[in-house]
Amino acid sequence: MNDTILVLNGPNLNLLGKRQPEIYGHETLADAEALCRETAAGFGLRVDFRQSNAEHVLIESIHEFRTGSAGIVINAGAYTHTSVAILDALNTCEVPVIECHISNVHRREAFRHHSYVSLAATAVMAGFGTYGYALAIRHLAHIKSRDAA
């Protein structure tokens, strides 16, 4: 478990690469998963890659990985901007949490500028496309090796 990163994706991200490519690009969630696995493997780490459209399922995944894992990368989708329940779950985490958005939420509608997830996040990625997931994993690997030293 301490070599495993949870990559958690929220509502509608199962449609990645299939709709709105001008905002989210052409890569699918399966492409993002492959990139995450490959990046983590380069650091001797594993990825548990999940997607759910249900808030409570996302919360249960956070509970599973909140201690003893190598960290959590979370793209909570629209729940980012609405969910105090996900924030409360993230606030229980003893592992680093990286918030990740494919698009640059700060150049989009005002309602996307506020993030509950950010209040619990170690770091935030936005606008790097699916490559942001790889950068987030790289940073978790860095934290892990730094803390082990």
Residues forming contacts to ligand CA2 in the complex (CB under 6 A) are 12-13, 15-16, 19-20, 24, 75, 77-78, 80, 101-103, 105, 112
Long-range contacts of 80-83 (CB under 8 A, 24+ apart): 80/10, 80/105, 80/112, 80/115, 80/116, 80/117, 81/111, 81/112, 81/114, 81/115, 81/116, 82/116, 83/55, 83/116, 83/117
Cα separations in angstroms, 54 against 18, 57, 104:
20, 5, 24
Nearest distance, CB of residue 149 and ligand CA2, angstroms: 33
Nearest distance, CB of residue 52 and ligand CA2, angstroms: 12
Which CB, 40 or 117, lies closer to ligand CA2? 117
Nearest distance, CB of residue 129 and ligand CA2, angstroms: 9
Nearest distance, CB of residue 120 and ligand CA2, angstroms: 16
- Residues marked active site are found at 24, 101
Which CB, 11 or 43, lies closer to ligand CA2? 11
Which CB, 1 or 119, lies closer to ligand CA2? 119
Which CB, 4 or 12, lies closer to ligand CA2? 12
Task: Give me the DSSP letters along 24-59.
Answer: H-S--HHHHHHHHHHHHHTTT-EEEEEE-S-HHHHH
Residue 103 in tokens: 């698009």
